[in-house]
Structure 1
């Protein structure tokens, strides 16, 4: 009997030690960055924890993480345009769980997958199918941004009151019948050619205007030069007239200038014409040289 008790004692101690160690280890847990931890006790969500190391009741509490980073859902949806053209739209939505309300989402919907399947995806498909038929196929191809804005506005309205936010929506691809795509490409090619021709004409007009402006500038420059030359001639004429007037005035006031001018212009030869004895040679009275 004593031996049996001894064996039981030495078996129980290691078991208790292992259980104690397991309890200690299971008392700690970590929550990954970009997530929140939902602490469940007997399957009931009690509270949530932020990323990091935390303590929980061993063997009782279970941790389930919910991602609070931006998530992306993609959908491939058949629809039709305003002219009843069949179209397949590949669209995606980026959305984020409200971090502070993550536990409410878990309590109401059981997690992200259930929320996507029951709430987000059906409303996203409905928003796309509401907006796409408002566009013609050509408008949808050429103005995808307006269609995206319409889907985004529709979905945001539908998602009010839920603990998530719709960040943005993208139309990844639009699949139309091949024949219609070819007609759109033909129209686009014709439009591109027309735009190129218009650009060419506008450029020619611009170059013609530049030539006109250059010619006008050159003509203005010639006019300016001519005006400057005429002004110079006028000033020169006025100066010469003033000089002549001054010279005439000097002649009137000093008769000796006439004699001096004659002497300056005399070539040193006496006149060859016959003169009477009584005629006197012209005598120029010059001032006597100073000693």
Structure 2
């Protein structure tokens, strides 16, 4: 009796399960009948594993349990590589480089069919060609040039990689040399060389300053000499003008005396001090005594 009761209970449970199973399957089918593609991606719809079409961002529907969706990112992705190479002078160098690349949105389905997804494309196509382009370009530059002019090396890698990636459904751009690791001996020699350059520049600056100071002193002395010369020339010119003026005055006075004898008398009168001469010589060379002195003696 107890066993029969147990069997009846099991049959009831199975009956209830069979009744609820379609409802559960329906709910699962409803939730499995749509998918959402987020921005920056496209959805590749696969039917029994075969890629059929691609869908843009938004809400879409698919056949439950038959179709699945693979998301392909179409935003810019970044790949970084650290690789060993050598410079033009055969110096070993380790280069850290990176590249940005973007899947062509319209060609996402073709990329998935040919390569199976982004990871496979990176591993099979992009990374080997990126390493090859970098290793082919770096040996064209000397170590010092790599340090001072990374832009030229980057342009060389970009040109080579563009040639390698032509025909693939991706856009490759913005290659960067993140780091250049050189041997420590070379770095020490660069530091010594730079120190010597700095010392030479400082010495050159000092010599230039001394030259400017000497030139300034010469200019100052030259200016003073020119000033003294100008003063001397001015004094000489003044003396010359004074002499010419005096000569012209004498000449004018002589002409005046010649033309008017009375001026001589006037000049003598102006120069007379009011005293009579004490001695005079006559025509017969007879001395004339000064009577005033005789009278004073009496």
Q: Is TM (by shorter chain) over 0.5?
A: yes
**Alpha-carbon distance in structure 1 between the residues aligned to 2:85 and 2:192:** 28
> How big is the shift at 1:120?
0.6
> How big is the shift at 1:81?
5.6
Q: Which runs of 5+ in 2 are unaligned?
A: 1-18, 289-298
Give the match for residue 253 of structure 1: 256
**Alpha-carbon distance in structure 2 between the residues aligned to 1:145 and 1:222:** 56
Number of residue equivalences: 257
TM-score w.r.t. the length of structure 1 is: 0.67
Give the match for residue 217 of structure 2: 215
Contact kept in structure 2, 1:76 and 1:88, CA below 8 Å:
yes
**Alpha-carbon distance in structure 2 between the residues aligned to 1:158 and 1:98:** 17
The structure-2 alpha-carbon separation of the partners of 1:37 and 1:249, relative to structure 1 and needing over 3 Å to count, comes to: same
Could you report, residue by residue, the CA deviation over 1:32-62 in whole angstroms, capped at 9, with x for unpaired residues? Answer: 2xx132341524241342x5x4544564765
Give the match for residue 171 of structure 2: 165
**Alpha-carbon distance in structure 2 between the residues aligned to 1:150 and 1:204:** 42
The counterpart of 1:121, out of the listed 120, 127, 135, is 127
Give the match for residue 201 of structure 1: 203
TM-score w.r.t. the length of structure 2 is: 0.66
CA RMSD of aligned residues (A): 4.1
Q: Between Structure 1 and Structure 2, whose CA radius of gyration is higher?
A: 2
**Alpha-carbon distance in structure 2 between the residues aligned to 1:108 and 1:132:** 32
The structure-2 alpha-carbon separation of the partners of 1:216 and 1:48, relative to structure 1 and needing over 3 Å to count, comes to: farther
> How big is the shift at 1:265?
5.0
Could you report, residue by residue, the CA deviation over 1:118-142 in whole angstroms, capped at 9, with x for unpaired residues? Answer: 1111222233343445566676666
Structural mapping, 1:253-272, within 5 Å: 253-254=256-257, 255=260, 258=264, 262=268, 268-271=273-276
Contact kept in structure 2, 1:38 and 1:64, CA below 8 Å:
yes
Q: Which runs of 5+ in 1 are unaligned?
A: 1-10, 280-291
